[in-house]
Structures are given as C-alpha cells and as structure tokens.
Structure 1
Amino acid sequence: MSPQGMGIAGIGAVTGYGWGREMLWDGLLEAKPAAALVEGYGVEEDETAWVARIPDGGDPEDGPSRFARAMRAAAREAITDAGRRGWLPGRRVGLLHATVQGEVDLWRDFYVEHGGRQSVRGYLAMMPSTPMSLLAQEYGFHGPSMVVSAMCASGNAGLITAKSWLDGGLVDDVVFVSTDVSATCENLLHFERLGVAVTDAEPLDACRPFQEGSRGYIMGEASVAFVLSNRDTNVYTRVVGGAMSHDAHHVTSIEPNLTQVRECFRDALADARVPADALGYLNAHGPGTRQCDRAEATLLGEFFPATARVYSVKPLAGHCQAAAAGVEVAAAALGYERGLIPAPPRVAPGHPQLLDGPTPLADGLTVKSSLGMGGHNAVVVLAPPA
C-alpha cells in the first residue's frame, strides 16, 4: 500500500461537451459552456431552457438509455486509460456507482407510456445495479458492487467510500463511476421552482460563483469514471484524505452557523494530516447560489492561507448533480497532470481569491468540497501524484 493515499489511475468522462475526457478538458480550457438552448423544456411546449445535456451517442449494446450507455462508456474509457498508464487489475476489483435518480427516462416511459407493462429484461434494465453488474461481467471483476447516493455530494462520498474499501483491505482496486442523466423537463422545472436552477439566461450570465450577479446554476448531465488504487502506478492525483457529515437541519438550506460543514472541512484536513499552509486551492462546490457562496467563502477564510485560490467549473460544465464532484475532481486531476487549472473566466466583481480563467498550476494541495442538498457534506483532499 502506498503511504501517499489513493491514486486516480484512469479517467473517463461523458459530459455535455461530448463523449470522452478530452472533450471535457478542451471545453473547460476554451471557457465554452457545455449548455445549449433546448426546446420543449418549460411548462409550455414551445418554451426553451439552457441545459448541459449529454448528446446522443454511445453503444446501443450498452443498454437502451443514455444513462446506461454513458455510465459504461465512461467506465470503459477509465479502465482503458488506466491500462495504458500501467495499471493491472488486482484480484478483487470493487465497483461503486454514485447516482441519485438513476434511469429517469426508462421509469417515466414505464409508468406513462407502457402503463407499468414491460418485459422482464426491460424491467431489470431500469435497476440502478444492472449497468454495474453488466460491467462486472464484461471485465470479470469480482469485488463488491454498491450504489452510493448523497445528493450533490455523491461523487465525493463515493471517493471516500472507495478509499475506505482500499485502506481496509476489502479490495485491491476500485472502478468508481458517478452518473446523472436526469436533466429532464420535469426535474428542471422543480429545481427552477426551488430557486436554484436558472433556465432563461446564458450560463456565464446566470452562474457566477463568488461573483456579483449570480442567480444559481445551469443544470447539467455527466458520467465520470475513475480507476482507483493504493498500489504504486502512474496516477493523475492522489486522494490523501476525506470526511463526510450531515447538517440535519433542513431539506434544502445549509445550517446558517455552518457547524457541520466546518467540522467536515476540519475532519478532512485531519484525515489527510496536512497543515493549512499546504493548501493551495479550493475546488468549490460553487453552484452560484447565495448560501453556498457564503458558506464556502467563510470556510476559505477560516481554513486556507491568504495565498490559496478558489474556483468552480459549474459555470462551464453545468451542475451535474450526482456526477458534479466527479466532473470537478476530473478537472483537478487532469490539471495536476497538465500543469493547468481549467478555471472559468471572471465576468463580474467577486472574491479576491477567485481565479480568472485557465491558470498555471502552483504548489499546493486541492480541497474539493461538495455541499449536497438536504445537508450532505463531503470534502476530499487531493495531492499531486509525486
């Protein structure tokens, strides 16, 4: 076991930018939002909305839905990538899948279009465990397989779960996928009614984390996969610590005193055994809502040195819900390898520590925070591979 923490040995991604991690990276570097104006996304059929949807694609053999195809495509890309970088799977490869709503399109059709009638094969395809079971069959992976769900903190929660499996010796490696393909008109409408999703403005006008004039976020979709291992290999970055907590306060709002969020940050840094002056970046949850901006700016001031910088890629990739942290960790991991942080451009006056566009990587660890709706807090600490 490497004393340096859990390594990310391979990355795969399907996002609003397209099918593949390089499309994600290129889109972020170009500061081009993944969202497009989509018709038929409002109460009236002729209404439109800005959404960062996964485009059509994938292998029909991977399943009947975009969810299954994206999940298996991202996993397959990560496994291939890890193999090219020298990773060899151990005897016990575990599978983790972070998701919240799963096969929303298939379940809607099941009730609305088919009246609850479906073939046995079609019914089993709707289960959240089925895509992972098929992936296990494809590669002959025999470790445990489990679904993780912690709202928008699901990606970080999955990474922490994978690390606990590896540190405890339950598995030799983990293939972890976070998937959310739920930006349907029905779901979008409810997030808009909650006052957090914005549909009627271009992404950089609507979502401005830590800047004046931010109204919330643009909904996004993604499936992001990582091959994770404690063994020495050519990794992008290492997860050296993490922690989770729950506010137990409100179904949507962050507890105003930030008691549990603060404890989550403190516990993650203690788990990583790093001093405050080792921190260089806060890769924020950063959805552009007022309460999240306030919470994360407060903790940036409390836990980080004045030289640290903050950024969020949600203005570009969209808020991908269960896959949000997956997208954001992938951006940081690719950035460590390529010496560049793919931060969005600043478009309004904002926090003095906020990055402005793609920035050369300096020394320092990255703290990735996730504040999931309902009080789910999850924080991981990322270190350079060496």
Structure 2
Amino acid sequence: MHTQRTYLTGVGAVTGYGWGTPALWDGLLSGKPAAALVDGYADDGQGSAWLAQVPSGGDPADGPTRSARAMRAAAREAIADARSRGWRPGGTVGLLHAVVLPEVEEWRRFYLEQNGQRRVRDYLALMPSTPVSMLMQEFNFHGPAMNVSAMCASGNAGLITAKLWLDSGMVDDVVFIATDLSLTPENVHHFVKLGVAVVDAEPLDACRPFQQGSRGFAVGEASVAYVLSKQRTSPYVSLLGGAMTHDAYHVTSVDPSRTQVDLCVRRALSDAGVSADQVRWVNAHGPGTQQCDTAEAGIVDDLLGGRPHLYSVKPLVGHCQGAAAAVEIAATALGYEHGVIPAPPKVAPGHQRLLDGATTATGGITLKTSLGMGGQNSAVVLAPAR
C-alpha cells in the first residue's frame, strides 16, 4: 500500500575517507578510492591489503573502540545536521542500529588478550544493545530502540523498518545508524577465501561493477546515520517506499532465476507508488562480483526497460558490509543536495547505461538495491525532497 512520504533530514558519516559527511562527499567527488594499503593482513601477519578502513579518531569519552566512537559521532552529526535544517524531535523518537558483527575488535581482544576476563561494565560494552541504550540516554529519547541485521542489506532493512514505525504512528521520528567496523585480519582473510574480497590490487583495478575484468571488491568500514521524520524541514531526500524478500536458495549465491530479486523490486515500486518507467537512476549493490552484477544488470534491462542510469560507489568507499547500503544511500542523498551523482570513473568496457564518473543530476527517482549474503534482497525508492 502506498503511504505518505518519509523525509531523510539529517546525515552523519564516518568512513574510510575520514570523520564527517564533508570528508565522505569530498572523497566521492575525487573519484579516488578510500582504500589504502594496510600492513599485517597476510596469513603470516606481515603482508599488506587494500582496505577502506576508518581511521582513528572520535571522542575517547564514547568508549575505547573505533566502533563505539564512530557510531556516536555519526549519530551526533546526523542529529545536529537535522536540527540545523529545521527538524525538532517529536515526543517519541525511536532508534534503529544496523549491525552484523558488532565490536569485533573488542571481542578479539576479550578472547585473545584478556582470556575472557574484564570488569562487568567493560564486558557489557560488548553487547549490541549497549551503544543503542547509551545513545538513547544521551538524547533523552524514549521510543523503541533495537538492532537490525540483514547482512549487506542491513541499511535498506533499517530504512524500511523506520518507515514502518513512522507509518504506523508508533514514533514521531527515527534516528537510524548503520555501523560496521569489522576489518580484523581474520575477517578479511575469510572474505578473501570466499573469493569475493580482493586485497592484492588497487580498488579500481579489481572492483569494476558492471565492467569487464571485475574480480570482486575491496572491503571497507563505516558508520552512517540519518534522521527520518514526517516533518518536511529542508530534507535531503524522500523515502517513498521499499520491500524485502529472501531467495532461500544458497548461503552465499544469488538465485540465478532472480525470482525473488525481481519480486522485491516490483513490490518496492508498488509500495512507493512509482512505475518502472519513472526510475531514472539505479544505485546498485554493485560489489563487482559476477553473480550480483548479472542480477542487477538484469533488473535494469528486463524490469526497467533498459532506461535508468546505473552506478555503484563500492569501488570508492569499499564494501562496508553491514553499513554498505547506508553509505550508498548517503551518496544518493548528498547527490540530490549537490546536483551531482558521485559515480566512480569507468575503467573498462561495461554496461551501456553505466555512469562514467561524477555526473550532473537534475532530480529523478532512484531505486537503491542491496543484495545481502544468503539471499537477503532489498530495495528502497528515493526521490528529491524539493
């Protein structure tokens, strides 16, 4: 059922480009990947890998970990940004936090360095509910507060959940955050073993979504936050609708029949009250793997009549795992704000509708797809707010 619009009013971001939304936007527009060579990621602990890792920073009072500091920093930036644009919290503000592997670095320390022993208060900091509760206390919010997890589709899943809360009247506003700072050597190594992460080549050489010669992605990290509301107070973007389905097919592979992927897109468009021929841009999951690129190219060619322009920002920000969709939605939101789609440069022959570098944009509806590992299909429909 088509429901009233939800507005995305504030944005906060901590990424491989640095702390703050300006660093993300400047990095995207540069066309240069956030990834850098990081030592200590080979089996012998001596080798290097290309990683879009969040640099050290943040407020030490927010906790000892990069993850806790990034989550709080992104949320504060989004809330301050929303306030500067005219938003005022309603009586009931909910909080959603998208996570897949929270506090991996601290769990690693807990078992490998501390032998499973620490003060109870420090142990509780490892629980995924703790940062959510601490943020609620900081801002005196009293709505529902919970975590969302749908692998790489967690960002889309969180936005869809936030819209459901708002449409139902359960809350007046929602602060949504997606955080994934999980690039320990063990995690990176196993994604390499899966055959999807590429650490031995520069990102634009390895990750070429919808282009010849793509081998996968550089892994990344991020925490990205939004304020969502029914208040129309100088928002970045309108969230028109969305949908999720599940392939129930394979633990890693996309169902080549695309049955549930296509159904997800059709339901998202229906929920948004948008026809296929109205979609101008597809902000793809686009990890640079053959099966995902094939599926999403099929969406553009078959479901959308080959009309929309296509892009993926993963060659630039990296694959930020549980925060991936949230980072990519930030690219769309900031793109509407600045009138530019921050697409990466093409480096090889590819899909005929693939954008080549930053492209001037004058509005138009965006379909944001995200295909999480294990069959988590999701799509949201975004439009300029003005």
Judge same fold: TM > 0.5, yes or no: yes
Residues 211-238 of structure 1 deviation map (CA, whole Å, 9 limit, x = unaligned): 0010000000000000000122110001
CA distance, structure 2, for counterparts of residue 30 and residue 154 of structure 1: 27
Q: Percent identity?
A: 64
CA distance in structure 2 between the partners assigned to 1:179 and 1:106 by the alignment = 15
Aligned equivalent of 2:22: 22
Query: Residues 259-307 of structure 1, C-alpha deviation per residue, up to 9 Å, x if partnerless?
Result: 1101000100010111122110000000000000100000111222433
Deviation at 1:5, TM superposition (A): 1.1
Alpha carbons 2:7, 2:236 under 8 Å: kept:
yes
Structure 2 counterpart of 1:178, which letter?
Answer: A
Q: 2:169 corresponds to which residue?
A: 169
1:79-121 residue CA offsets vs partner (Å, 9 max, x unmatched): 0000000000000000000010000011111111111111011
- Tell me, yes or no, if the aligned pair for 2:3 and 2:167 is still in contact at 8 Å: no
- RMSD over equivalenced CA pairs, Å: 1.0
* CA distance in structure 1 between the aligned counterparts of 2:259 and 2:305, rounded to whole angstroms: 21
111-120 or 6-15: bigger deviation: 111-120
What do the CA deviations read for 1:225-258 (whole angstroms, capped 9, x no partner)?
0000012211000110100010001000011101
Equivalent pair of 1:280/1:362 in contact (CA under 8 Å):
no
In 2, Cα distance between equivalents of 1:77 and 1:224: 10
Report the equivalent of 2:213: 213
Q: Secondary structure at the match of 1:100?
A: coil
CA-CA distance at 1:48 after TM superposition? 0.6
The CA distance in 2 between the partners of 1:110 and 1:306, in whole Å, is 51
1:47-80 deviations in Å (ceiling 9; x for gaps): 1100000000000100110010000000000000
Q: Which aligned pairs between 1:94-109 and structure 2 lie closer than 5 A? A: 94-109=94-109
Which consecutive residues of structure 2, in runs of 5 or more, have no partner in the other structure?
none
Aligned equivalents of 2:3, 2:384: Cα separation in 1: 14
Distance (whole Å) between structure 2 residues aligned to residue 79 and residue 50 of structure 1: 32
1:136 aligns with 2:136: yes
- Give the Cα–Cα distance (whole angstroms) in 1 for the partners of residues 307 and 157 of structure 2: 28
Alignment partners' CA distance in 2, 1:299 and 1:185:
35
TM-score, with structure 2 as normaliser: 0.98
**C-alpha distance in structure 2 between counterparts of 1:222 and 1:5, whole Å:** 27
Amino acid at match of 1:238: S
Hey, what's the Cα distance between the residues in 2 that align with 1:89 and 1:296? 37
Where does residue 331 of structure 1 map in the other structure?
331
Q: Does 1:273 align with 2:273?
A: yes
Do the aligned residues in 2 keep the contact of 1:4 with 1:238 (CA within 8 Å)? no
Contact 2:197–2:216 (CA under 8 A) maintained in structure 1? yes
Asked if the contact 1:65–1:106 (Cα under 8 Å) also holds between the matched residues in 2, the reply is: yes
Q: Which amino acid aligns with 1:16?
A: G
Alpha-carbon contact 1:343-1:359 (below 8 Å) kept:
yes
Alignment correspondent of 2:81? 81
How far apart in 1 are the matches of 2:307 and 2:362? 11
**1:291 is aligned to 2:258:** no
Counterparts of 2:203 and 2:25, CA distance in 1: 18
Task: Give the distance between the partners of 1:97 and 1:376, measured in 2 at CA.
Answer: 18
Q: What secondary structure is seen at the aligned counterpart in 2 of 1:53? A: coil
Q: Which residue identity is paired with 1:34? A: A
How far off is 1:46 after superposition?
A: 1.5
Deviation string, structure 1 residues 180-218 (Cα, Å, up to 9, x no partner)? 000111000000000000000000000000000100000
Cα distance in structure 1, aligned partners of 2:362 and 2:4: 20
Q: Does the 8 Å CA contact 1:279/1:305 hold for their aligned counterparts?
A: no
Following superposition, the deviation at residue 125 of structure 1 comes to 0.5
After the TM superposition, which segments of 4 or more aligned residues of structure 1 sit over 4 Å from their partners? none
How does 1:172-187 map onto structure 2 within 5 Å? 172-187=172-187
Is residue 2:153 matched to residue 1:153? Answer: yes
- 1:1-386 mapped onto 2 (5 Å cutoff): 4-386=4-386
1:173 maps to amino acid: D
Asked if 1 retains the 8 angstrom alpha-carbon contact of 2:336 and 2:363, the reply is no
Contact conserved, 2:300 with 2:307, CA < 8 A, in 1?
no
1:258 partner letter: R
Which secondary structure state, in structure 2, belongs to the residue aligned with residue 14 of structure 1? strand
Task: Give how far 1:4 is off.
Answer: 4.9
Cα distance in 1, alignment partners of residues 213 and 365 from structure 2: 30
CA contact (8 A) 1:237 1:336 kept: yes
Cα displacement (A) at 1:363: 4.0
- 2:262–2:303 Cα contact (<8 Å) kept: no
Displacement of 1:308 after TM fit? 1.3
Label 1:3 to 1:263 Cα distance change in 2 as closer, same or farther (>3 A).
closer
SS of equivalent residue, structure 1 residue 132: helix
Deviations 1:331-380 (A, max 9, x none): 00011111100000000000000000000113420000000000001100
> What amino acid sits opposite 2:23 in the alignment?
M
**Partners of 1:48 and 1:29 in 2: CA distance:** 27
Is the 8 Å Cα contact of residues 176 and 226 (structure 1) preserved in structure 2?
A: yes
CA distances 1:123-161 after superposition (whole Å, capped 9, x unpaired):
010011111111111110000001000000000000000
Which consecutive unaligned segments of at least 5 residues does structure 1 have?
none
8 Å Cα contact 2:3-2:272 kept in structure 1: no
Q: Alpha-carbon deviations, 1:18-55, whole Å to 9, x = none?
A: 00001000000000100000000110121110000000
Query: Equivalent residue of 1:322, what SS?
Result: helix
- Cα contact 2:79–2:227 (8 A) shared by 1: yes
Distance 2:236 2:258 in 1: 32
Q: What is the total number of aligned residue pairs between the two structures?
A: 385
Give the secondary structure class of the aligned counterpart of 2:175: strand
> In the alignment, residue 273 of structure 1 is paired with which amino acid?
G
Paired residue secondary structure (1:371): strand
Contact 2:342 / 2:358 at 8 angstroms: preserved in 1? yes
Tell me, what secondary structure is at the counterpart of 1:330? helix
Q: 1:13 is aligned with what amino acid? A: A
